[in-house]
Amino acid sequence: MKNTVEQLSIPALIINHIYVGVIITIFYVWVSPVIIDAGFPGMSILLAAEILILAPLVFLHIRMSAQKQSVAINDVILFQQRLSFKSFILWTLLGILACMIVYIPLYPVGIFLRQNWFEWLPEWYFNPAWRIR
């Protein structure tokens, strides 16, 4: 019988998402110039950040939540049942559609912000595939 685990509040969920993004952004800005000058694309820094920062922070957060609540790690991770193939395809397509509905209308906003507020940032910051030739 599994213990009931404490659900995070909405503000706690938002903070848990934002602080990881801030740490990855700091890592990206700090390491990118060196890696790009060495001839590698900026995307390599983002991939390294997923391995070196994102994965350990997520695991650490889950482990700390389990210890705080005195439960096993598997009890903290909810929704562990596999989806059927049909549900997997449906949710994948709905996710792609949702991304298109959100990102396509917001693309001009991103261009406006880049050109008017963040023009001082280097090209590699916006284009992770960019590299010095």
Backbone angles phi, psi at 79, to 5 degrees: 55, 60
**Each residue's pLDDT tens digit, 35-84:** 888 888 878 888 899 999 999 998 998 898 888 888 888 888 877 888 89
Find how far residue 130's CA is from the centre of its chain: 20
**Each residue's pLDDT tens digit, 81-132:** 888 999 999 999 999 999 999 999 999 998 999 899 988 888 777 776 665 5
Using alpha carbons only, what angle is made at residue 132 by residues 20 and 128, rounded to the nearest 5 degrees? 25
The secondary structure of residue 117, as a DSSP letter, is T
Please spell the DSSP secondary structure of 93-120, one letter per residue.
HHHHHHHHHHHHHHHHHHHHHHHHTSTT
The model's pTM? 0.66
Cα–Cα distance list, 74 to 61, 112, 113 (Å): 13, 44, 42
